[in-house]
Amino acid sequence: MTAENQPWTHRFRPSCQAEVVGNERALSQLRTWIRSWEKGIPKERAAFLHGPPGVGKTSCVVAIANDMDIDLLEVNASDFRTKKRLEGLVGRASLQTVTITGKRRMILFDELEGVSGQQDRGGITSIRDIIKETMIPIVLIATSPGEKWQDKFRPLVDVSTLIEFSPVPFGAMVRRLRECATELGISVDEEVLEYLADRSQGDLRSTLNDLEAISRGKETITIKDVEGLGMRDRKDYTPDALNKMFSAKSLREARRVISSTHIDYDTLFDWIYENLPVVLESPRDLARGMEALSRADIHQTRAQRTQAYRLLKYMFNEMTGGVALSRLYSTGTGLLSQVREKTATLGFPPGAFTVTETKAGIEVKPVKYLGNEWRRVNNGLREVGAQWVRGGNAWLIPYFRPPQLVWRYRRTYQSRRRRDEVAAKVAERCHVSSKEAVAEVIPLVKVMVGGDAVMADEITGWLDLDDKQSKWLKS
Amino acid sequence: MSSGMWAEKYRPKRLDEMWNQTEIISRLKSFVKDKNLPHLLFVGPAGTGKTTGILALARDLYGPAYQNYILELNASDERGINVIREKVKNFARTAAIASEVPFKILIMDEADSLTSAAQHALRRTMEIYTRTCRFVLIGNYSENIIEPIQSRCSVFRFGPLGEEDAKGWIKHIAENEKLNILPEGLEAIYEASTGDLRKATNLLQAAAATQRDEIDDVTIYSVLGRVSPGRVRELINLGLKGQFMEAREVLRGLLIDEGLAADDIIRLIYSEVLRLSIPERYKVRLSDTIGEIDYRLTQGARAEIQLSVLVAKLAIVGEEING
B16 belongs to a structural domain:
no
* B128 shares its domain with B178: no
Transcribe B47-74 into DSSP letters: TSSHHHHHHHHHHHHH-GGGGGSEEEEE
* B193 shares its domain with B143: no
In tens, the pLDDT along B285-299 reads: 999 999 999 999 999
Mean pLDDT, rounded, for A116-132: 73
User: Is the Cβ pair B259, A405 closer than 8 Å?
Assistant: no
Q: In chain A, what residues touch B227 (CB-CB under 8 Å)?
A: 443-444, 446-447
* B145 shares its domain with B178: no
In tens, the pLDDT along A428-461 reads: 999 999 988 998 899 999 999 998 889 999 999 9
Q: Which among B227, B228, B296 has the least Cβ separation from residue A298?
A: B296
Least confident of A236-245, B65-74, B200-209: A236-245
* B33 shares its domain with B121: yes
Is A66 in contact with A15 (CB distance < 8 Å)?
yes
Of the residues B157, B172, B191, which one is the last residue of a structural domain? Answer: B157
- Band of pLDDT at residue B15, cut at 50, 70 and 90: very high
- Look up residue B257 and give its DSSP letter: I
User: Is the Cβ pair A452, B209 closer than 8 Å?
Assistant: yes
* B207 shares its domain with B276: no
What is the distance between the alpha carbons of residues B72 and B191, in angstroms, rounded to a whole number? 31
Instruction: Report the gap between the CA of B109 and the closest CA in chain A (Å).
Output: 8
Q: In chain B, what residues touch A429 (CB-CB under 8 Å)?
A: 4-5, 8
B-facing residues of A in 78-107 (CB < 8 A) are: none
User: Is the Cβ pair A154, B80 closer than 8 Å?
Assistant: yes
% of chain A exceeding 70 in pLDDT: 90
* B122 shares its domain with B44: yes
B1 belongs to a structural domain:
no
Provide the CATH number for the domain around residue B300: 1.20.272.10
Provide the CATH number for the domain around residue B61: 3.40.50.300
Q: Which residues pair with A187 in a beta bridge?
A: A220
B189 belongs to a structural domain:
yes
* Interface contacts (A, B; CB < 8 Å): 179
Q: In chain B, what residues touch A158 (CB-CB under 8 Å)?
A: 79-80, 82-83
B15 belongs to a structural domain:
no
Is A77 in contact with A115 (CB distance < 8 Å)?
yes
B4 belongs to a structural domain:
no
Mean pLDDT, rounded, for B197-207: 94
Q: Centre a 10 Å sphere on the Cβ of residue B321 and count the other Cβ atoms it contains.
A: 12
B215 belongs to a structural domain:
yes
Q: B253 to chain A: nearest residue by CA?
A: A408
Q: Report the candidate in B205, B256, B211 with the shortest Cα–Cα distance to residue B231.
A: B256
Q: Which among B51, B83, B312 has the least Cβ separation from residue A286?
A: B312
Which helix (H) or strand (E) segment holds residue B133: the answer is: strand B133-139
Mean pLDDT, rounded, for A211-226: 78
What is the distance between the alpha carbons of residues A56 and A22, in angstroms, rounded to a whole number? 8
Hey, is the C-beta of A355 within 8 angstroms of any chain B C-beta? no
End-to-end Cα spacing for chain B? 60
Of the residues B139, B157, B175, which one is the last residue of a structural domain? Answer: B157
In tens, the pLDDT along A227-286 reads: 555 444 433 457 778 888 888 889 998 988 877 766 678 888 999 999 999 889 899 999
Q: Which among A147, A158, A277 has the least Cβ separation from residue B83?
A: A158
* B51 shares its domain with B137: yes
Q: In chain A, what residues touch B215 (CB-CB under 8 Å)?
A: none
Q: Centre a 10 Å sphere on the Cβ of residue A146 and count the other Cβ atoms it contains.
A: 13
* B49 shares its domain with B149: yes
Identify the pLDDT of residue B95: 67
* B68 shares its domain with B99: yes
Of the residues B190, B207, B224, which one is the last residue of a structural domain? Answer: B224
B12 belongs to a structural domain:
no
ipTM: 0.86
Tally of domains within chain B: 3
Is B191 in contact with B211 (CB distance < 8 Å)?
no
Domain that holds residue B317: 229-321
Identify the pLDDT of residue B1: 39
B216 belongs to a structural domain:
yes
Q: A463 to chain B: nearest residue by CA?
A: B4
Identify the pLDDT of residue A236: 45
Q: Which among A157, A286, A449 has the least Cβ separation from residue B244?
A: A286
Identify the pLDDT of residue A79: 66
B-facing residues of A in 243-272 (CB < 8 A) are: 269
Q: B314 to chain A: nearest residue by CA?
A: A287
Q: Give the sheet arrangement for strand A104-109, strand by strand.
A: A70-75, A104-109, A138-143, A46-51, A160-164
> pTM to 2 decimals?
0.63
* B145 shares its domain with B219: no
B-facing residues of A in 276-305 (CB < 8 A) are: 277-278, 283-284, 286-287, 289-291, 293-294, 297-298, 300-302, 304
Q: In chain A, what residues touch B226 (CB-CB under 8 Å)?
A: 443, 446-447
Q: A153 to chain B: nearest residue by CA?
A: B79
Q: In chain A, what residues touch B228 (CB-CB under 8 Å)?
A: 439, 443
* B211 shares its domain with B245: no
Q: B78 to chain A: nearest residue by CA?
A: A433
* B119 shares its domain with B48: yes
Provide the CATH number for the domain around residue B205: 1.10.8.60
In tens, the pLDDT along A314-360 reads: 999 999 999 999 988 887 777 788 888 888 888 888 888 988 888 77
